[in-house]
Amino acid sequence: MRYLVILFMFIGTVAVADTIQFKIVPETSSYDLERRVRQLEYAVQELQMRVFNLQMGADKKPTPVPEPKNFVCEIKAFSQVYREFGPTMEEAKEKARQACVQKHHAMHCDVDTAKCNPNK
């Protein structure tokens, strides 16, 4: 007896991964064969759409994950305040100093005078 391989694809809205099952069934009437061919064609069409959507999504760059900002430090130079964030106190101080140095001479941007607090 001949057997046909029928591909059933169950698409769930909540499912984490799609499941593909293969089922071997004996040949029956031509009506049943036509119905099974239509089911296979539908399953192939669904797979083609998924591949197309994955390819289109591959062109998009993933959104960058912002770095944690656990500390905030500020440096005062003349009447301006330079406030920066960082995952560590040292990094926040250095970022604040760099922002200050862009506008003023480095001798006015002392990290020892920086005020730092945990960012909540």
pLDDT of residue 23: 63
| pTM metric for this prediction | 0.43
pLDDT tens column, 25-48: 665 677 778 888 888 888 888 888
For every residue of 35-58, DSSP letters joined together read: HHHHHHHHHHHHHHHHHHHHHHHH
Decide if 9 contacts 20 (C-beta within 8 A): yes
CA distances from 27 to 4, 5, 60 (A): 7, 10, 45
pLDDT of residue 99: 92
Considering only residues 33 and 19, tell me which one the structure prediction assigns the higher pLDDT. 33
Domain boundaries, the chain: 3-58, 71-118
Determine the Cα–Cα distance for residues 22 and 75; give it in Å rounded to an integer: 67
**Cα torsion through 7, 13, 18, 20, rounded to 10:** -20
